[in-house]
Amino acid sequence: MQAVQIPFRKLAFAGLATVLFTAFRFAGLPQTSASAAETEMPEPVLLYDFEEQDASDKTIKDKAGQNNGTLKGRTQVQYSEERDSNVLYFWGGNSYLEFPQGFFDGRDTMTISMDICSLMDNENFFTVAIGKDSNQYLFLRTRSGECRYAITKDSWGTEQDVAAVGRYKEQWTNVTLVLTPKEMRLYINGELIDVQDGLTTKLSDFGEDVIGYLGKSFYSGDAYFKGYIDNVAVYEEALTAMEISAMNGTVPMPFQSITIGEDIASVVTWKADKEARKLTVYVSKSNTKNKETAELVFRTQDNVFLKGNGIVSIPYGSSTQTEFVIKNGEEEESQIWEVSAVLCGNPVVPGQYADPDIDVFDGKYYLYMTTDGFSGWSGTKFHVFSSDNLVDWTDEGVILDVASKDVPWSVGSAWAPSIEEKNGKYYFYFCAKDTSGASSIGVAVADSPIGPYTAMPEPLMTVEMCKKQNVSMGQAIDPSIFTDEDGTSYLLFGNGAAAVVKLNEDMVSVDLSTLQNYRGAREFREAITVTKRNGIYHFTWSCDDTGSENYHVNYGTSDSLYGPIQYQYTVLEKRPEQDILGTGHHCILQIPDEDEYYIVYHRFFTPLTYFSDGKGFHRETCIDVLRFDEATGLMLPATPTLEGVLARKLGKEPQQPEITPEWDGTEPGEDETVPQPTKPASAEADSQKKSGFAGRLFGIFAVVAIAAAALLAWRKRLHEKK
Contact, 493 vs 478, CB < 8 A? yes
At 84 the pLDDT is 95
At 267 the pLDDT is 95
| Spatial separation of the C-alpha atoms in residues 87 and 78, rounded to whole Å | 5
CA distances for 385 relative to 214, 288, 424, 545, angstroms: 49, 18, 20, 26
pLDDT tier for residue 54 given thresholds of 50, 70 and 90: confident
pLDDT tier for residue 678 given thresholds of 50, 70 and 90: very low
What does the H/E/C string look like for 441-501?
EEEEEECCCCCCCEECCCCCECHHHHHHCCCCCCCCCCCEEEECCCCCEEEEEEECCEEEE
At 474 the pLDDT is 96
What does the H/E/C string look like for 68-102?
CEEEECCCEEEEECCCCEEEEEEECCCCEEECCCC
pLDDT tier for residue 658 given thresholds of 50, 70 and 90: low
| Spatial separation of the C-alpha atoms in residues 537 and 553, rounded to whole Å | 16
Please give the model's pTM, rounded to 2 decimal places: 0.78
Residue 316, pLDDT above cutoff 80: yes
Q: Residues 196-208: what's their mean pLDDT?
A: 94
Task: Out of 243, 355, 434, 579, pick the active-site residue.
Answer: 355
Residue 454, pLDDT above cutoff 80: yes
Contact, 172 vs 119, CB < 8 A? no
At 37 the pLDDT is 44
> Which of 245-249, 561-565, 609-613, 704-708 has the weakest average pLDDT?
704-708
pLDDT in tens, 323-348: 999 887 788 889 999 999 999 999 99
Q: Residues 236-264: what's their mean pLDDT?
A: 86
Q: Which residues of 352-388 are buried (b: 16+ CB within 10 A; e: fewer)?
A: bbbbbbbbbeeeebbbbbbbbbbeebebbebbbbbbe
How many C-beta atoms surround the C-beta of residue 116 within 10 A? 23
DSSP state, 319? E
At 43 the pLDDT is 95
**526 is annotated as an active-site residue:** yes
At 145 the pLDDT is 81
Q: Which of 384, 399, 402 is nearest to 451 (CA)?
A: 399
| Spatial separation of the C-alpha atoms in residues 300 and 183, rounded to whole Å | 15
At 252 the pLDDT is 80
How many C-beta atoms surround the C-beta of residue 226 within 10 A? 18
Cis peptide before 576 (omega within 30 of 0): no
| Spatial separation of the C-alpha atoms in residues 26 and 36, rounded to whole Å | 17
Task: Out of 526, 579, 620, 624, pick the active-site residue.
Answer: 526
Q: Does residue 597 or residue 303 have the better pLDDT?
A: 597
Q: What is the mean pLDDT of the chain?
A: 86
**671 is annotated as an active-site residue:** no
pLDDT in tens, 279-298: 999 999 999 999 999 999 99
